[in-house]
Structure 1
Amino acid sequence: MDNHLSSVKNSCRLMKLFLDSEKELGVSELSRQLQLSKGAVHKLLMTLESEGFIKQNPSNKQYSLGYTLLELGNKVLTNHNLAEFAKPFLHKLSDATQEFVCLCARDQYEAIYVDKIESKYPIRFNVDAYRRFPLYATSAARSILAFRDERFIDHVLSEDIRTFTPYSMKKPEEIKERLARIRENGYEVSSNMRNVGVTGIAAPIYDADGSVNAAISMIGPTDRVQPLLDTFIQHVVSTTLDISHQMGYRGK
C-alpha cells in the first residue's frame, strides 16, 4: 500500500524541477515535465504560492521558487552539524575499505580532523581527532585548499612551508601544481608526504553552492593501499559525492 499523499509528492516533484533550471518555468513546461494536466499543475502552483514556496512573476506569469524555501534552507544550515551528518558515510567507507577514514574541515587557514574511524587491521595508521595541520600538509587538507580562490591559496603559501618527511613538498609553485591536478582529477593521492610508508586518498565535499570546506580521506600503509588504489579511489570519491548531493550540491 502506498502511504504517500500524491498531492504532496507531486508538489515536491514540482519544486525539484527548479533545481535543474536556471530560468522561470510556466504551467505548460511544468505540465510536460511532470506529466500532469495543466489544471492539476495550476492547482499545485496556487497552493504552493499561498504558502510562499512558489512565486509568480507578474510580468510574464512564469513561476520560480519562493522565499519560504530560502528560510527553510537557512534553518537547515543553522542546524547542520557536518560531523554528525557525515558519520554514516564514514562508517560505510570504513566497512568497504577496512582502512582508517577521517573527516577533515577547514578552520580559517588550517585544516582540522573533526571525526575519524579506526582501521580494522592491527597494523594501521592513526591520527588524533581535532589535530590541526596547514592546508597544504595532508591529502585531505589539499583537497580543500585546491578549491579555494587564488588569493586564499597565496595567503596560505606565503608563510614558511612546513615539511614532515624528506618527500614533503617544499615550494609554493610545487604545491600549486599539485592543487591544479587535484582540481582536474577531483581527488588527491599522496604517499610519504606526511608519514613515510603511508598513502592517503582524499576527495572534497561540495556545499550546495559548490564551495569546498571539508574533505574525507582514507589512509593506510602504502603496501596495503597501492594494490587496491583504483578501487579505494572510487570508494572515496563516491562517498564525498554522496555527501555533497545530500547537502544540495547539483554538480557532477
Structure 2
Amino acid sequence: MLKTLDNALDLLTYFTREKRQWGVRELAKEMHVSHTVVYRILATYERYGFVRQEAKTKKYELGFAFLEYGSILRDNLDMTQLIYPVMKKTADATRESVFLTWLDGTEGICLEIAESQQAVKYAFSVGTRTLLYAGASNKVIMAYLPPDVQTAIIGKGLLAKTAHTIQSEERLLDDLSRIREQGWAYSVSEYTDNVFGIAVPLFASDGKVTASLTIAGPDYRMPAEKVPHALEVLQAAKEEIQTYLQRIL
C-alpha cells in the first residue's frame, strides 16, 4: 500500500513547466514503473480531477483540482488580504516587481507576485519552483538553512542556470556565509540573464527561515547607487510581513 502511495505521489513530480504532458508509456519508462501501474494511478487522478487527458494527443496533464487546493493554501496564508498589499506598496515604491518565495523542502516556490507597472519587467509565474543555490531570492533562504541541509542541496549538483551561476561549493558556501552575516542578498544574472534580485529572508515564530521577499527586474534599472534605497524599502516591507507571519507560523 505504501509503495503504491509513493508511486502515486512521485508521479506528480514529473509534471513540470518544462514537461507539462506525459503519455502513459513514456511516463512509465521515465519512472521505471510498469505502464499498467502508471495507467491506474492516472485513471484515479483523472477521476478526482487532479489530471486530465488532452483530447488530441491523448497525453495527460495536471487538472483543475490543483487550482482549488492552491487557492486554499493562499487563503490560509491570507496572502491577498494581508501580504499582497505590502508587496504592491513595495512594487509601487521601487517600480520593480516583488516576489514572495516560499521554502518547500529543498526548493523554493513562488507564492505571490506584485508586478511592476513598467512595460519592461521580469516575467515570472506563481507556482514556479526554483533551485535554492542560485539567485538572491533563493540564496537568502539557503543561507539560513542548517549546514547539513545546505550540504544535501549542494550534493545534488550545482547546475548552471546561466553563465553567472556559482558552481563551486567553496564559493557558494562563502557567499551564503556573507549573506547570512549581512542579512540580505543581491545577485545579477545568476538565475536569469540580465535580471537583478535584492532579497531578504522571512522567518516563522520558531526562528526558522520560511520564505524570502525579493525585488527583481532588468539589471540596467538597478545600478549600484540605487541598491541602498531599494533595500531600505524592502526591509520595511519585511518588517510588516514578518510581524504577520510570526503570528500564524
What TM-score does the superposition give when structure 1 sets the normalisation length?
A: 0.64
Assess, with a 3 A threshold, how the Cα gap between structure 1 residues 142 and 83 changes in structure 2: closer, same or farther: farther
Q: Distance in 2 between matches of 1:154 and 1:223?
A: 34
Name the amino acid aligned to 2:91. S
Instruction: Give 1:242 shift.
Output: 2.1
Structure 2 Cα separation of the partners of residues 245 and 216 of structure 1 = 14
Could you tell me how far apart the structure 1 residues matched to 2:143 and 2:204 are? 15
Counterpart for residue 128 of structure 1: 125
Q: Distance in 2 between matches of 1:222 and 1:153?
A: 28
Return structure 1 stretches of 4+ with deviation > 2 angstroms. 82-85, 245-249
The gaps in structure 2 that reach 5 residues or longer are 1-74
| 1:175 and 2:172 correspond | yes
Matching residue within 54, 65, 79 for 1:83? 79
Q: Secondary structure at the match of 2:246?
A: coil
Is the 2:162–2:191 contact (alpha carbons within 8 Å) kept by the matching residues of 1?
yes
> Is residue 135–residue 188 contact of structure 2 (8 Å, CA) maintained in 1?
no
Partner deviation per Cα, 1:138-185 (whole Å, 9 max, x = no partner): 211111111111011111111111111111100222111111111111
Counterparts of 1:167-246 in structure 2, within 5 Å, are: 167-226=164-223, 227-246=225-244
Q: Take 1:91 and 1:123, find their aligned partners in 2: how far apart are those partners?
A: 17
**Structure 1 residue 247: Cα displacement:** 3.1
Match of 2:148 in 1: 151
- What percentage of aligned pairs have identical amino acids? 24
Partner of 2:245: 247
Q: Which amino acid aligns with 2:179?
A: I
Q: In structure 2, what is the equivalent of residue 93 of structure 1?
A: 90
Alpha-carbon distance between aligned partners in 2 of 1:82 and 1:230, rounded to the nearest angstrom = 30
State the distance in 2 between where 1:177 and 1:241 align. 27
Q: Are the aligned partners of 1:140 and 1:215 in contact in 2 as well (CA < 8 Å)?
A: yes
| Whole-Å separation in 2 of the counterparts to 1:165 and 1:83 | 31
Write the deviation string for residues 40-97 of structure 1: whole angstroms up to 9, x where unpaired.
xxxxxxxxxxxxxxxxxxxxxxxxxxxxxxxxxxxxxxx8416344212111111111
Structure showing greater radius of gyration is 1
> Corresponding residue for 1:140?
137
Mapped to 2, the partners of 1:94 and 1:194 lie a distance apart of 20
- Separation in structure 1 between the aligned mates of residue 191 and residue 232 of structure 2, nearest angstrom: 22
Structure 2 equivalent of residue 111 of structure 1: 108
Q: 1:229, 1:102 → 2: CA distance?
A: 17
Q: Offset of 1:219 from its aligned partner?
A: 0.4
Shift in CA distance, 209/82, structure 1 to aligned 2, threshold 3 Å: farther
Shift of 1:248: 3.4
1:248 is aligned with what amino acid? Answer: Q
Root mean square deviation of aligned Cα: 1.6
- 2:124 and 2:115 map into 1 onto residues whose CA distance is 9
Structure 1: any 5+ residue segments left out of the alignment? Answer: 1-78
For residues 133 and 157 of structure 1, the distance between their equivalents in structure 2, rounded to whole angstroms, comes to: 14
The 8 Å contact of residues 208 and 244 in structure 1, kept in 2 or not, is answered as no
Alpha-carbon distance between aligned partners in 1 of 2:179 and 2:158, rounded to the nearest angstrom: 19
How many aligned residue pairs are there? 171
The answer to whether the Cα contact below 8 Å between 1:198 and 1:219 also exists between their aligned partners in 2 is: yes
Letter matched to residue 230 of structure 1? P
2-side partners of 1:150 and 1:127: how far apart?
A: 29
Q: Decide whether the 8 Å contact of 1:187 with 1:237 is kept in 2.
A: no
Decide whether aligned partners of structure 1 residues 248 and 213 sit closer, same or farther in structure 2, where only a CA change above 3 A counts. closer
Amino acid corresponding to residue 144 of structure 2 in structure 1: F
